[in-house]
A = this chain, B = another copy of it.
Amino acid sequence: MKVAKFGGSSVASAEQLRKVANIITDDSDRKAIVVSAPGKRNEQDTKVTDLLIALGEAYQRGESYEEQLEQVVARFRDITNELGLDDNVLSEIKEDVKEVFASDYSDAFKIDAIKSIGEDSLAKVLSNYLKSLGLQATYLNPKDAGIYVSDEPGSAQILEESYQYLYKLRDREEIVVIPGFFGYTKDGKLVTFSRGGSDITGSIVAAGVQADLYENFTDVDSVYCVNPNIVKNPKEITSLTYKEMRELSYAGFSVFHDEALIPAFKASIPVCIKNTNNPNGLGTIIVAQKETSENPVVGIASDTGFLSLYVSKYLMNRELGFGRRLLNILEDECISFEHTPSGIDDLSVIIRESQLTKEKEQIVINRIKNELDPDTVYIERDLALIMIVGEGMDSTIGIAEKATSAFAKANVNLEMINQGSSEVSMMFGVKASGVEAAVKSLYKEFFE
């Protein structure tokens, strides 16, 4: 049994839904389907979820939301018309909205319920369409599927018991179409996952039914080994591990909402990323373990927007608790950090620039000066991190040499190097201005 999840661009129009239906028909193992809300049909388009958010905001401001509601309805009307389906879903949307706003739930829950209408309606439309094609298919509400979640609007967490309910889906004869993005609390309130949460639903359903494969259909052929905006037509990754995917998605790989992988990861379900527009392409498969190849490097990730907080103090390493007290100050100020490369008497803390605003910067520096009495403390902005990722790297001699020689060839100075004993990845810090040249040079070194 396979679970197939279709993302926003895959269900954006009647034309796309035809491709989806073909994909489902093509493989009788595709029995559980999870869908997003319709996404953009072109650059200028607006995602249905964004229309629904605007609708909710208008309601909260006490303004009319008729215009936004009509836009949502119009999107679905286009689809049902073109696919020749009945238009019951259109009146259901209007009723749903009325009902939500009339309920006694607090605003946060109302907004969640409104946001979920895109996925919910699309699931209804798709199951109708599959039936119209002669397939046995049913729309399945997350409540009926057994997707129970915590009471946290906008960032629901799955409850463990859900998995035993979902397992029963294996007994179903027909194809079930489940809207992604939301579940229900034990007392029946609708709550959404964080944004991108349809991936989470897909992963949860795959774990619940113990799928042989979780297929994540999107609009790219595969995961590339490097950002295609930096290197043209880069190599595709055919297979990578959960850990590698996680390291890659950390820095610059946005194909996948990486937290979504957790349920599949925990249940050891292989995940396949495929293109709805090219379903016969190999795609990229993500597995728990794989054989190491001759070139253990699977990808190069890069991201800008980091800074380094540098602190030095003579004999720092004799001071028990120095590092801990420094991290304590950051935690007090709610700043999370990425890495802490160190010398003997100095420590650099790598932080995302968004975490340390200019206002907080002075507070943090003053606290460090007052509480830790350092010799030097300063902040260097405009840093980029580049990661070389691959599970086999730890047993291969010469990876660091290849990588550092690529930086030297690109004439880019290394501000930082950080490699722990796991060696799934090797991290390099450079000035943001050098990142493109460095990534191109690394690609040449490892993949050409």
A residues at B contact (CB < 8 Å): 243, 246-247, 250, 259, 262, 265, 308, 310, 312, 314-315, 317-318, 320-321, 323-324, 327-328, 330-331, 334, 336-348, 380, 394-395, 397-398, 400-401, 403-405, 407-408, 411-427, 429
CB distance from A390 to the nearest CB of B (A): 12
Task: Report which of B334, B403, B420, B429 forms a contact with A342, defined as CB distance below 8 A.
Answer: B420
* A380 B413 Cβ-Cβ under 8 A: no
Known contacts being A246-B314, A310-B420, is A323 close to B340, with CB within 8 Å? yes
A250-B444 Cα distance, complex, nearest whole Å: 38
* A320 B336 Cβ-Cβ under 8 A: yes
Counting chain B CB atoms within 10 Å of each CB, the highest count among A265, A320, A417 belongs to: A417
* A397 B405 Cβ-Cβ under 8 A: no
Task: Report which of B318, B411, B418 forms a contact with A418, defined as CB distance below 8 A.
Answer: B418
Chain A interface, >50% SS class: mixed
Q: Which chain B positions have C-beta within 8 A of A259?
A: 315, 318
A418-B428 Cα distance, complex, nearest whole Å: 10
CB distance from A24 to the nearest CB of B (A): 31
* B401 A407 Cβ-Cβ under 8 A: yes
* A397 B412 Cβ-Cβ under 8 A: yes
Counting chain B CB atoms within 10 Å of each CB, the highest count among A315, A343, A380, A411 belongs to: A343
Q: Which chain B positions have C-beta within 8 A of A315?
A: 246, 259, 262
Write the chain B residue with the least CB distance to A266. Answer: B314
Known contacts being A344-B425, A404-B400, A419-B414, is A338 close to B317, with CB within 8 Å? yes
CB distance from A326 to the nearest CB of B (A): 9
Counting chain B CB atoms within 10 Å of each CB, the highest count among A324, A346, A421 belongs to: A421
* B328 A324 Cβ-Cβ under 8 A: yes
* B404 A345 Cβ-Cβ under 8 A: no
Q: Which chain B positions have C-beta within 8 A of A421?
A: 308, 310, 341, 348, 380, 415-416, 429
A400-B404 Cα distance, complex, nearest whole Å: 6
Write the chain B residue with the least CB distance to A259. Answer: B315
Write the chain B residue with the least CB distance to A242. Answer: B314
Task: Report which of B323, B339, B380, B429 forms a contact with A337, defined as CB distance below 8 A.
Answer: B323
Counting chain B CB atoms within 10 Å of each CB, the highest count among A346, A401, A427 belongs to: A401
Known contacts being A323-B337, A327-B324, is A405 close to B414, with CB within 8 Å? no
* B324 A331 Cβ-Cβ under 8 A: yes
* B250 A344 Cβ-Cβ under 8 A: yes
Q: List 23 A-B contacts (CB under 8 A).
A: A246-B314, A247-B345, A250-B317, A262-B314, A317-B338, A318-B336, A323-B340, A324-B328, A341-B421, A342-B420, A343-B425, A347-B420, A348-B421, A395-B413, A397-B413, A401-B407, A401-B408, A403-B404, A404-B405, A416-B421, A417-B417, A417-B418, A417-B419
* B397 A401 Cβ-Cβ under 8 A: no
Q: Which chain B positions have C-beta within 8 A of A414?
A: 397, 400, 419
CB distance from A413 to the nearest CB of B (A): 5
CB distance from A165 to the nearest CB of B (A): 24
CB distance from A63 to the nearest CB of B (A): 36
A327-B426 Cα distance, complex, nearest whole Å: 23
A262-B317 Cα distance, complex, nearest whole Å: 14
* A420 B324 Cβ-Cβ under 8 A: no
* B408 A405 Cβ-Cβ under 8 A: no
Counting chain B CB atoms within 10 Å of each CB, the highest count among A334, A405, A423, A429 belongs to: A423
Nearest 4 A-B pairs (CB), nearest first?
A324-B327, A400-B404, A401-B404, A348-B420
A22-B179 Cα distance, complex, nearest whole Å: 93
Known contacts being A324-B327, A411-B397, is A341 close to B265, with CB within 8 Å? no
Task: Report which of B346, B398, B400 forms a contact with A422, defined as CB distance below 8 A.
Answer: B346
A408-B399 Cα distance, complex, nearest whole Å: 9
A343-B426 Cα distance, complex, nearest whole Å: 7
* B345 A243 Cβ-Cβ under 8 A: yes
Write the chain B residue with the least CB distance to A345. Answer: B246
